[in-house]
Amino acid sequence: MPDSRPAPPEDTHVIVGLSGGVDSAVTALLLQQQGYRVTALFMKNWEGDDDDEYCSAEADLADAGAICEMLDIPLETANFANEYWRDVFTHFLDEHLAGRTPNPDILCNREIKFKAFLQLAEQLGGDYIATGHYAGISHQGGEYQLTMAADQNKDQTYFLYMLGQPQLAKALFPLSDLSKPEIRRIANEHQLPVADKKDSTGICFIGERPFKEFLGEHLPDQPGDIVDTDGNHLGRHNGLMYYTIGQRQGLGIGGSRHHSEEPWFVAQKLIDSNQLIVVQGHDHPRLFADRLTAIEPHWVAGQPPTSEFECLARCRHRQPLESCRVTVGNNGTLEVMFDQPQRALTPGQSVVFYRGNCCIGGAVIDRVGPTS
């Protein structure tokens, strides 16, 4: 859905978060073509070692400079590493220590890209900020709405549900109607130097390094037992923080004459006993639940639709939308009941709610109930 706000006045100044990738490069190009006065800002959010083979900040900054030179737009730089460590990374570590599986990209959007970046952009005289997110913004009835991208496979509203009216009023998402192949085509047509650059993957500050290796640099191992649902010992783990619900890889469980040859999956993490509970089979009943309790709700409109409502929801990025009923408690918690049992609901991850094409908000999964 295209941005439904009125056309901007002449000389409207937009600060584009330029990462050095193709999405943000095309974002800057499109805004320039639409008549905006564009300034680019390269954000450094992680202080890696200079010889860190996984840190691409230096190369990304060089790419950002090449993009700006070609588009003839100014490039500013900012280091938000202190804010990132304080507002995102410490929470990430605390959640893992508590046996949960956080999603730092969601918090990064709230605290860095749409808070620290937005504040700096205003200091630089920006009327708007813009990013290469796959999402849209509409304005209806005096309210800003966060809408899903046309490219459903790339839609990133799951990671943006913590945005509210103040942020959406100042943000532009020019890629909302474009697919990835179209963005590559535009970049090649205009000979942008990053037209064929590989997309970055993985958690924003980890890069593409092995997750267990990275986490082990910041948290001490806490070895414990791997057991089945009857308490039978199957092996040892190095720490519950290295595992997530539904995980298959990396369990290191060998064959046993007491069990079948079906693969093992993580079903539960018991913090008090430091035990990892595993089950056999992708569709084992212990991997499914149709209800959850969520905390720290955030609503794009500023408040929930009603105290009880039906909507669609997803509990992971790219997961199909599922029908559910949401009950809003007086203490701010949400009770979410799905029409169908969901696999591998994970405390620490977010449940994000949708009505039609709009993301209306979400909350952090706190507890997972059994299937009724």
**Which positions ≥6 away from 8 have C-beta within 8 Å?**
35, 36, 127, 128
In the 8-state DSSP scheme, what is residue 321?
A: P
Question: How far is the C-alpha of 236 from the C-alpha of 25, rounded, in Å?
Answer: 47
Catalytic residue among 108, 315, 358, 359: 108
Both structure tokens of 76: 């500013």
Question: How far is the C-alpha of 44 from the C-alpha of 61, rounded, in Å?
Answer: 9
Active site residue 204: yes
What is the CB neighbour count within 10 angstroms for residue 354?
22
Both structure tokens of 320: 């199909």
In the chain, the amino acid numbered 339 is D
Extract the runs of DSSP E, i.e. beta strands, from the chain. 13-17, 37-44, 75-79, 128-130, 136-140, 143-147, 171-172, 224-227, 233-237, 264-270, 275-280, 288-299, 308-314, 322-328, 334-343, 350-355, 358-369
Active site residue 315: no
Catalytic residues: 108, 204
